[in-house]
Amino acid sequence: MEILAFGVTADEKPLIEKAFAGQHEVRCLDVFLSEDTAPIATGYEIVSSSVNADLSGRVLRTLAAGGTKMIAQRSTGFNNIDLDVARQLGLTVGRVSYYSPYSVAEFAWTLAMAVNRRIVRASNRTRDFDFRLNGLMGRDLRGRTVGVLGTGKIGEAFTRIAHGFGMNLLGWDVAQNPACVELGMKYVDKDTLFASSDVISLHVPLLESTHHIIGAQALKLMKDDAILVNSSRGGLVDTDALVTELRSGRFTGVGLDVYEAEAGLFFLDKSLVAVEDDTLARLITFPNVVVTSHQAYYTLDAVGQIIDTTVANVADYLAGRRSENTLSPADPS
């Protein structure tokens, strides 16, 4: 069987082809699945999509009309998929429920350290042979307080690194993680975490209840010299409210690997066109902000696990099996 994979990067392509070798042929496309590209999948029973794919009802109907019966999404998040429509159409949808949490946790700390120690500014200066230290002063992390919103697998990995730095640990989640408590984490309400933390990192999924969990009120509660990091989902942060606070000179630094309006921008080369997103354009101009292109998960280890799980999801579909990765059809239990 030939599988059509959308949104495949040059780094991923040989890994995907090797993983499916001897089992199925796979056609890799660098374009993302959307209303415009969905007709390409006509005749393909199995389609694989990437994290920023548009799997809205209209796209799903186009896929189903073209003969697609199974969608294997190469990501953990699935807020981009209209599962109600998928189930109505009888489409099987699988995702990757787990991959290396260390990839994202380590990158979140990379962002935090980059803004704390002014790494980007320093690098830009030295490229011009400007070796002055003015404006590059950071802070020790030891003895300071980190607030972790979401203490699942990634949040726990992030917390372990913070513990290694010798930081005070605050956490917020719907349920406490015993491993984090053992490390010394104190669970508090969100407002206390916002007001007390020197570094705040987001590791919660994007749900209706967490949309804009970092909004105007939360931002006002934070310390003027706090560091905010988001490597989870862009919709967790009200970007317009964040820009307002940054314009007033607040925050030591902000590290964002995700952006709430990243679809149609991230993973694409927009260097030769005018970007119409004024909020993102303004955000990038702040010297204390580092924006990266949703790459926290992008390590050989994590991508390898994502691809291996995708291969297993395809095998489960063909064998008529369900697993923890199956989103549609719904579990009859």
Q: How many other C-beta atoms are found inside a 10 Å radius of the C-beta of residue 133?
A: 9
What are φ and ψ of residue 276, in 5° steps? -85, -10
Q: Which residues are catalytic?
A: 233, 262, 294
Size of the chain, expressed as the number of residues it contains = 333
Nearest alpha-carbon partner for 138 in 120, 155, 151, 153: 120
Nearest alpha-carbon partner for 239 in 265, 266, 261, 267: 261
**Amino acid identity of 186?**
K
Nearest alpha-carbon partner for 136 in 113, 119, 124: 119
Dmax (CA) of the chain: 65
Rounded distance, CA 50 to CA 73, Å?
6
Rounded distance, CA 198 to CA 226, Å?
5
**DSSP assignment string, 155-177:** HHHHHHHHHHHT-EEEEE-SS--
